């Protein structure tokens, strides 16, 4: 696992944006796994500004609320079109977001896994992290081998996400999310985290034991996982100085 610590969310995001941009230039038909929430907003803004060619890119989003109409302002369909897809030349047919309104949700989940496989697997998965360590919406005690399925949000996550909905009551209880096993199959994983509220979850994920109580800790087993953090999110890492030194002294050929 590589841990990159930068002073600000903007600086940490720029490193992530360079990695995505390089992939899209080197592999114009890349398959991206995408996240929603506050964290990737800067990344999507930066990618839009880079004026990349998205015409052959395929995307799979991590998750979606169950029962929220697709045109609801807080659905992840709305989020993705508002914050990224509308601003780039992506082919609508190559965009995949789980359907949280389907009658047969287990069928939707199985089909989602199949489509990821048919696309050749995910080249690069973008992740945020919940204050409880969730990735996607794989809440604590999710199976580390899980696949796309229904999950129930924890009270903590519903409280955290109340800021988008105005009040906690309006946050749906159920979601469809890629599983941890699904995420682990991405060839490369890039987790972004900003702010001191993420520091505990990040420290446990990177330096704690691998445990289903912190689902992001499964990334310790991923051969190509990178965390891009600001100083707040990195503030509880015991070996922060070491990670900074490693990054500052990388040979040029290893730099993103
Ligand atoms: C969103 C997702 C979640 C978020 C996490 C952090 O698609 O999968 O894991 O990344 O809840 O959310 P923010 O970025 O809003 O703090």
Taking the C-alpha atoms of residue 204 and residue 210, their distance in angstroms, rounded to an integer, is 9
Query: pLDDT, tens digit, for every residue of 134-156?
Result: 999 999 999 999 999 999 999 99
- The pLDDT-based confidence of 185 (bands split at 50, 70, 90) is very high
> Residues near ligand 1 with C-beta < 6 Å?
35-39, 62-63, 128-130, 134-137
CATH architecture of 2-228: 3-Layer(aba) Sandwich (3.40)
Catalytic residue among 64, 123, 139, 230: 139
The predicted pLDDT at position 256 comes to: 74
What separation in Å is there between the alpha carbon of 94 and the centre of ligand 1?
22
By the 10 Å C-beta count (0-12 exposed, 13-18 middle, 19+ buried), 209 is classed as: exposed
> 57-80 burial string, b = 16+ CB within 10 Å, else e?
bbbbbbbbbbebeeeeebbbbbbb
To the nearest whole percent, how much of the chain has pLDDT over 90?
A: 97
Query: pLDDT, tens digit, for every residue of 63-100?
Result: 999 999 999 999 999 999 999 999 999 999 999 999 99
Q: Using the predicted structure, report yes or no on whether residue 120 has a pLDDT greater than 80.
A: yes
Global pTM reads 0.97
**Domain coordinates of the chain in residue numbers?**
2-228
């Amino acid at each position: 696992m590589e841990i990159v610590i930068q002073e600000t969310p903007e600086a940490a995001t720029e490193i992530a944006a360079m990695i995505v941009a390089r992939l899209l230039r080197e592999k114009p038909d890349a398959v991206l796994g995408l996240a929603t929430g506050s964290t990737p907003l800067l990344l999507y803004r930066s990618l839009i500004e880079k004026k990349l060619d998205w015409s052959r890119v395929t995307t799979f989003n991590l998750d979606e609320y169950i029962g929220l109409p697709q045109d609801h302002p807080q659905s992840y369909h709305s989020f993705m079109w508002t914050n990224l897809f509308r601003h780039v030349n992506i082919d609508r047919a190559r965009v995949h977001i789980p359907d949280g309104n389907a009658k047969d949700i287990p069928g939707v989940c199985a089909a989602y896994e199949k489509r990821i496989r048919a696309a050749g697997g995910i080249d690069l998965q973008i992740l945020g992290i919940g204050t409880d360590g969730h990735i996607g919406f794989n809440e604590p005690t999710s199976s580390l081998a899980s696949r796309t399925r229904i999950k129930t949000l924890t009270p903590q996550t519903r409280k955290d996400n109340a800021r988008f909905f105005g009040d906690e009551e309006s946050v749906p209880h159920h979601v469809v999310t890629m599983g941890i096993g699904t995420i682990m199959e991405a060839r490369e994983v890039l987790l972004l985290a900003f702010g001191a509220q993420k520091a505990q979850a990040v420290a446990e994920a990177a330096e704690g034991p691998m445990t289903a109580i912190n689902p992001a800790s499964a990334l310790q087993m991923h051969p190509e996982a990178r965390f891009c953090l600001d100083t707040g999110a990195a503030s509880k890492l015991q070996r922060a100085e070491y990670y900074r030194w490693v990054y500052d002294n990388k040979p040029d050929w290893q730099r993103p």
